[in-house]
Amino acid sequence: MILESIGSSSAIGIDALWSNAAALVVVIPLIGGAVAALLGRGRIAWAWAVLCVLASFILSLFMLNLVLGGETIGYEMGNWEVPLGIAYQIDSLNALIITLVSAMALLALLFGLPTVEHEIDPKKQSMFFGTFLVCVAGLLGMAATADAFNVFVFLEISSISTYVLVAMGAKQNRQALTASYNYLILGTIGATFFVIGVGLLYMVTGTLNMSDISSILAGMGDDRVVRAAFAFIVIGLGLKTAMFPLHTWLPNAYAFSPSIVGMFLASTATKVALYLLIRFLFSVFQTGSSFETAMFDFVLAPMAVTAMIVCSVQASFQPDVRRLLAYSSVAQVGYMLLGVSLGTAAGLSAGLLHLFNHALMKGALFMAIGLAGLGLGVVRISEMRGMGKTMPFTAAGLTVAGLSLMGVPLTAGFISKYYLVIAALERGWWWAVVAIVVSSVLAIFYVGKMIEAMYLHEPAKHADGSVMKVKTPVLSLIALYILVLANVWFFFDPSLPFGLAETAASALIGGEGS
Amino acid sequence: MAELLSSPVNPAFALLIAGFLMALLPDWRQRKFVALAAPLVALWLWMQVSVFGSYGGIHIAAIGLDLQPFRFDGLSRIWALIFIIAAFINAIYSLHERDRVQDAMAAIYGGSAMGAVFAGDLLSLFVFWELTAITSVFLIWRAGTAASRKAGMRYLVMHVGSGVLLLAGAVLLHSQTGSWAFEHIGLETGLAGWLLFLGFGIKAAFPLLHSWLQDAYPKATISGTVVLSSFTTKMAVYALARGFAGEDILIYIGMIMTAFPVFFAVIENDLRRVLSFSVNNQLGFMVVGIGIGTTLGINGAAAHAFADVIFKGLLFMSVGAVMLRTGTAKATELGGLFRSMPFSAFFCLIGAAAISAFPLFSAFVSKSLILAAVADEGHWFVFGVLIFASAGVLEHAGIKIPYFAFFAHDSKKRPKEAPWNMLLAMGIAAFLCIFLGVNYGWFYSLLPYPVIYEPYTFVHIVGQMQLLLAAIFAFGLLIRIGLYPPEVRMTILDVDWLWRKPLKHLALWLNAISDRLFAAVENAIDSKIQNAGRSLTALLSPQGAFARIVPGGVLTGWAAAFLLIALFIAYLAKS
């Protein structure tokens, strides 16, 4: 009798776990963050954070599996019905993003323990992991929710925790404080613009649920308030996406933050903001409306192309490796925005594919640089000399990820650039193809600088002339190589991200243009 | 042996992997072992392919991408073989050097040139095309002089530019045909064809696009020049043969290429520069063969490319040996070296005989294919120019190089003989020059198409000997009379020597003008690069206007302004 009830209740427990997956994927790291902050020691907090993120990752895989089966997962918080309550909705678009964020968070944690112990005050480590979990929860929430105001809430949760995380780099470099402050100012402006836009939409439609807004907007004629809301939301999210010229917060925030934060942000933060931009552009507002097309043609596309070239040149000039990578990130965001601004299904899926691939390559690059910083104290490119000998595995991983960033065949970077070129050609945007080529050539230069320093220069030597050998933490190296191999794997078999991107794109645009 | 490999492996990988390995190997002995072993492995892989076809294609269905990195057919087979041989000889030649960068870059450079030759699609071609540019520039830079650094930069700009043109053309072509395959392209494809043509043309050193060659090659390291002369231009000739066979314009481009360097080469003092002009001249013959486009013409281009890599390499090697021992390659400072460098002098003479197309030497059997192809098509004017250019070859390369380096007036220099490895490399190349000329049946069997041609006919031998002996006689006569200032010991010998003075002065004048012109262009490019660099630095570097740490208020202003623009656009859009 007792056994029976236990058995059945545990069955209910498992069922409840799966049926609430959409909410739990966000709630676990959110609550876990509070717990982590209470755990006194860094390592325990780290283990706890890994556990929480692992749970989120497993749940996201479960949902990904459902979505791949063609389902859309809906979830109503507290069983309040849709227009009133907050709903979560997972389709092929955000299933990809959620999986990406939770996977990158897990890899970041696996990679990051030695760097955190090196870079963060021991007393602050448990707080650090707590904040990190909150940040993960914020990003996952932004991706999962189907409620426009709830997006704002999670946007702020992730942003505020990010400001804290960036500022924690101050032990290494005091500039982290100004970087964090600038990010705070601009991030707040972005969030404000966004919430103003959402407010305007609420004023017109009387609802905050995204699909509800969308269907009401579809029934309405042209409306100036909607147009204003549109501009506010695009610029607000554009700021968080690091759309040129609103990217000025990004290079310093990435470069001066602790290694693990830089790595995690580079591979997720702008990606989630971009996801939201796509969500609002294509599923909330009317695709193909005149103001949206105008925004694509006159703002997004020109700014994307400018970013691709200007920021690539800027990257070539940076002596600081992480700033180099950060400028390259802004340029790569340009690629994604270009794909989006094509306004076709092919363009959108190319942009999404590049979003996914870029997370893989930049994650690996930042990891490798983090390890180089840990082992050799590398900050500038000149300090990477001879890394091919002193840190052969890290250097090899960095090289492969760098090749992916250039877009060399046999790496994932090639696939998405190739697909973007094809999409631009379909639309007849020659100048965009030229910009992609020019920007890729520039990428050869700035990645080449790193490769040259690592392999063609002699390393620093001990007094007796022997080459220094640097030990690299094994767990970090494993995390790095998972990403490096992913960079190669997704060249030969891009069907997972590609299938999701295609499905999402054709659902959002309705297969038009491809 | 064949069952060892389940499917053929691209020989280019042997060199590419060896190159990356050498970049990591600190010990020079290990590096030299790898450098020598890699071409042998490549050769073995090359021999394993028994059936023509495309192997190891990468097909990614999701985005409809089809890469064919290993196409083995008649055309790519012979080019790959000569690149393997060149890589091997070059490795021997540079055994005495201890430069890790050059070792690694030379191997990757050779591997990527081979990769380009095997590329069955334009995207693979582009990747290898750019890789040759990026790796070969180090062979120039490692000379370590300020001049070589600048020349290397100009070289890089030209060559990366050529790759960009190639990619642009490939993308355009893809939008027209929906395929990336690298087959016959032709200029009738419009802009796409012309972009590709221009991209190939830069590397093939077409007239007016050629200055990088004379600019950069003489400034590279000693072994670097030898390596450079083997790959880049021959790869471009291959690409032309594949994509633009039978384009009439190539006949005339090639004709100009054979003729104009003669004028410059005869009065040039730097022997490496003389040989660089001679590269142009020999490329001209190949380009003419491609322009003719008949099977005989393509065969001739392939055969001549094969022979040229060896004899031109041999000449560069002998001048390099002289340079290693005396520190200079200037004709005026050399002479009489045969006394102490007899072997080098002997090998140089063989190379000279080969490039001048003496019977029993390689160019005799390869160049005659091209001449026969031209004659078959009835291009008599072109034929005449090529005959003139052949005589010119003898003057500037066949006689001038050995004469000024090893004979002529005694410079009183008595350097040691070249190191054994250089002699061995030169010996192998010299052997091949004669081997190909004698065993032409084997040589012809490697060509893309079956050959029905007999080079050693009475008429051909006598005709060629008349040309050569007349040229030598004229040279001897002019030396005997002793009318010539040292830096212009020769003049154009096919014409009546009464015209010598005006022609000499014309050549001198042209040389002075072109020197000044090229110097001006080089300076202009240099200052453009510098200016562009400076203004970009001012704008975009960490100290620059775009990257300065800006106060938050300014950033806020930016954001607001941008919002305003977005609002305007949203409002103004027509409903």
Tens of pLDDT, residues B227-276:
999 999 999 999 999 999 888 999 999 999 998 888 777 777 888 888 99
**Tokens at residue A46, please?**
């780290």
A485 and B CB contact within 8 Å: no
State the smallest CA–CA distance between residue A447 and chain B in angstroms. 13
| Closest chain B CA to residue A496 | B62
Give percent above pLDDT 70 in chain A.
94
Average pLDDT over residues A329-334: 94
ipTM: 0.80
Q: Which pLDDT belongs to residue B2? A: 43
Alpha-carbon distance values, A222 to A193, A286, A446, B57 (Å): 22, 11, 47, 53
**Tokens at residue A289, please?**
């409306």
Residue A485 lies in a domain: yes
Residue A262 lies in a domain: no
Residue B135 lies in a domain: no
**Tokens at residue B508, please?**
């001198």
State the smallest CA–CA distance between residue B208 and chain A in angstroms. 25
Of B367, B351, B399, the C-alpha closest to B297 is: B367
Whole-number Å distance between alpha carbons of B429 and B326: 23
3-state DSSP of B411-445: CCCCCCCCCHHHHHHHHHHHHHHHHHHHCHHHHHH
The residues, ordered by sequence, that sit 6+ positions from B391 with a Cβ below 8 Å of its Cβ are: B467, B470, B471, B493, B494
Q: Are B185 and B162 in contact (CB under 8 A)?
A: no
State the smallest CA–CA distance between residue B448 and chain A in angstroms. 29
Q: How many domains, chain A?
A: 1
* pLDDT level of residue B412 (50, 70, 90 thresholds): confident
Helical ranges in A242-344 per DSSP H: 249-256, 259-278, 290-295, 301-306, 312-317, 321-341
Whole-number Å distance between alpha carbons of B370 and B380: 13
A498 and B CB contact within 8 Å: yes
State the smallest CA–CA distance between residue A382 and chain B in angstroms. 15
DSSP B555-569: HHHHHHHHHHHHHHH
Residue A347 lies in a domain: yes
Domain of A432 in residue numbering reads as: 288-514
**Tokens at residue B185, please?**
């392209």
Element (H, E) at A512: none
DSSP assignment letter at B495: S
Residue A383 lies in a domain: yes
Domain of B415 in residue numbering reads as: 245-493
Q: Are A256 and A109 in contact (CB under 8 A)?
A: no
Q: What is the mean pLDDT of chain A?
A: 87
Residue A225 confidence (pLDDT) above 80: yes
- Top-confidence residue, B507 or A128: A128
Residue A77 confidence (pLDDT) above 80: no
Residue A463 confidence (pLDDT) above 70: no
Q: Which pLDDT belongs to residue B26? A: 80
How many CA atoms lie within 13 Å of B194's alpha carbon, on the beta-carbon side? 3
CA angle A285–A287–A289, rounded 5-degree value? 85
Tens of pLDDT, residues A15-33:
666 778 888 889 999 999 9
Q: Do A290 and B573 touch (CB under 8 A)?
A: yes
Q: Do B60 and A415 touch (CB under 8 A)?
A: yes
**Tokens at residue A83, please?**
């227009």
Of B116, B135, B163, the C-alpha closest to B19 is: B135
The residues, ordered by sequence, that sit 6+ positions from B371 with a Cβ below 8 Å of its Cβ are: B300, B383, B386, B387
Q: Are B184 and B172 in contact (CB under 8 A)?
A: no
Q: Are B414 and B339 in contact (CB under 8 A)?
A: yes
Burial A341-364 (b: 16+ CB within 10 A, else e): bbbbbbbbbbbbbbbbbbbbbbbb
Q: How many domains, chain B?
A: 1
Q: Are B57 and B9 in contact (CB under 8 A)?
A: no
Q: Which pLDDT belongs to residue B553? A: 74
Residue B325 lies in a domain: yes
Average pLDDT over residues B429-448: 89
Whole-number Å distance between alpha carbons of A345 and B63: 13
Residue type, A439: S
Residue A391 lies in a domain: yes
Helices B74-93/B28-48 angle, 10° precision: 160
First to last CA, chain A: 61
Residue A511 confidence (pLDDT) above 70: no
Whole-number Å distance between alpha carbons of A458 and B181: 42
- B-chain CB neighbours of A310 within 8 Å are 540, 546
Q: Do A456 and B134 touch (CB under 8 A)?
A: no
* pLDDT level of residue B58 (50, 70, 90 thresholds): confident
For the ranges A163-167, B472-476, B478-482, B513-517, which has the lowest average pLDDT?
B478-482
Residue A90 confidence (pLDDT) above 70: yes
What pTM was estimated for this model as a whole?
A: 0.78
Average pLDDT over residues B84-91: 94
Whole-number Å distance between alpha carbons of A82 and A146: 10
Q: Do B63 and A418 touch (CB under 8 A)?
A: yes
DSSP B9-48: --HHHHHHHHHHHHHH---HHHHHHHHHHHHHHHHHHHHH
| Closest chain B CA to residue A326 | B547
Tens of pLDDT, residues B550-561:
666 777 888 888
Strand partners for B71 = B54
- Top-confidence residue, B191 or A7: B191
Residue B249 lies in a domain: yes
Residue A418 lies in a domain: yes
**Tokens at residue A49, please?**
């954070």
Tens of pLDDT, residues A97-151:
999 999 999 999 999 888 888 888 888 889 999 999 999 999 999 999 989 999 9
Nearest to A186 among B23, B541, B559 (CB): B559
Whole-number Å distance between alpha carbons of B481 and A461: 64
Residue type, A471: K
Q: Do A444 and B174 touch (CB under 8 A)?
A: no
Residue A230 lies in a domain: no
State the smallest CA–CA distance between residue A287 and chain B in angstroms. 13
The residues, ordered by sequence, that sit 6+ positions from B175 with a Cβ below 8 Å of its Cβ are: A425
Q: Do A320 and B168 touch (CB under 8 A)?
A: no
- B-chain CB neighbours of A294 within 8 Å are 569-570, 572-573
The residues, ordered by sequence, that sit 6+ positions from B432 with a Cβ below 8 Å of its Cβ are: B85, B310, B362
Residue B340 lies in a domain: yes
Residue A208 lies in a domain: no
